[in-house]
Structures are given as structure tokens and as C-alpha cells.
Amino acid sequence: MPEGDGFLIIFQVFSFPGFVNRFIMHEIRIAEDLSAIVLQAARKENLIRVTKVNISFGQLVQIVPDIFEFAFREIVRDTIACKAVVVIEIVPVKMECNSCGSDFNLTENYFACNVCGSTDLNIIHGKELFIKSIEGE
Ligand SMILES: [Zn+2]
């Protein structure tokens, strides 16, 4: 939580549909999208500076946190978010088996149920790509 007269904006949780394909400059593209969301939310709340940005990435988004943070910092360099602390949480992949109903965390790149071996699986977590909250004043 922010201290003093700080401000906290909580975002609705949403996932991007389907898999996010990996392209060259994947992190930059995502950093551009997320920084635009941060700045828009900060403007809407009349913040004078953004102090912290909490971001969740599913493991399947295959973000490299250091590259993302570098890209984000470059993009927000001349904005009110230039000194914001960026906190990145990686959400592990969780699968649910459509055959036997068990759910399990994916520990390796082997897309089969670890109880019955079925490959008829749903992804429950791991595709997330969102800003959890931003803090500012
Ligand atoms: Zn199963």
C-alpha cells in the first residue's frame, strides 16, 4: 500500500485471449502497451508521479523481466512514471485435465496430465498479462 497521501489504482484482472506469440521485440511491444495503460490511468486520477507499478505475467507469455523492465524504463523516461519501481510477478502455468479432472502445475514443457496422461487439457493460469496495480501521489 502507498504511504501518506499516496494513491493506489487497482486494475481489473484480465487475460489476453489465446497465446501471445513470441516476436522479436516482444517485451518492447508489451512495455509500450502497459506503459500507455499506466500513464492513462495516472492522468485520469491526476497523479503527479507514479511510484510503483505491479505487473503480472503468466509463464506462457515468456517475458524476460530484465528486458521488459529496461524497455519500460526507456518508454516512460520523460513521463511522470520515470522513477516508478517496477515489480514483476511471474504466474506459473496451471493446467486442468478434461479427462480425469485433476489440476496441476506445469513443471516442464510436457503438455500431458501427470495423473492420467491425457493431452486434453485446459490452461487455468499462465497466460496472464496485466497490471495489478499502480501506486502514485
Ligand atoms: Zn488426467
pLDDT 10s digits, 34-67: 999 999 999 999 999 999 999 999 988 888 898 8
Give domain status of residue 1, yes or no.
no
The side-by-side arrangement of strands in the sheet containing 121-125 is 103-105, 94-97, 121-125
What angle (nearest 5°) sits at the alpha carbon of residue 21, between those of residues 20 and 24? 125
Cα of 10 from ligand 1 centre, angstroms: 36
pLDDT at residue 12 in the model: 55
Give domain status of residue 75, yes or no.
yes
Residue 83's contacts (CB-CB under 8 Å, 6 or more residues apart) are 49, 51
Cα of 112 from ligand 1 centre, angstroms: 8
Can you list the residues of the chain whose pLDDT is less than 50?
1-2, 14-24
Contact 8, 133 (CB under 8 A): yes
Contact 135, 8 (CB under 8 A): yes
Give domain status of residue 108, yes or no.
no
- Tell me how far apart the alpha carbons of residues 45 and 111 are, in angstroms, rounded to a whole number: 43
- CATH number at 48 reads 3.30.2320.50
Give domain status of residue 102, yes or no.
no
Cα of 93 from ligand 1 centre, angstroms: 16
Q: Of 131, 135, 123, 129, nearest to 12 (Cα)?
A: 131
Percent share of the chain, pLDDT over 70: 82
- What is the reported pTM? 0.74
pLDDT at residue 4 in the model: 59
Give domain status of residue 43, yes or no.
yes
Q: Locate 68 and state its grid cell.
A: 521488459
Give 108's DSSP letter. S
pLDDT at residue 24 in the model: 46
The interaxial angle of helices 65-75 and 26-44, nearest 10 deg, is: 50
Q: How many domains does the chain have?
A: 1
Range of the domain at 27: 7-93+125-136
pLDDT at residue 1 in the model: 47
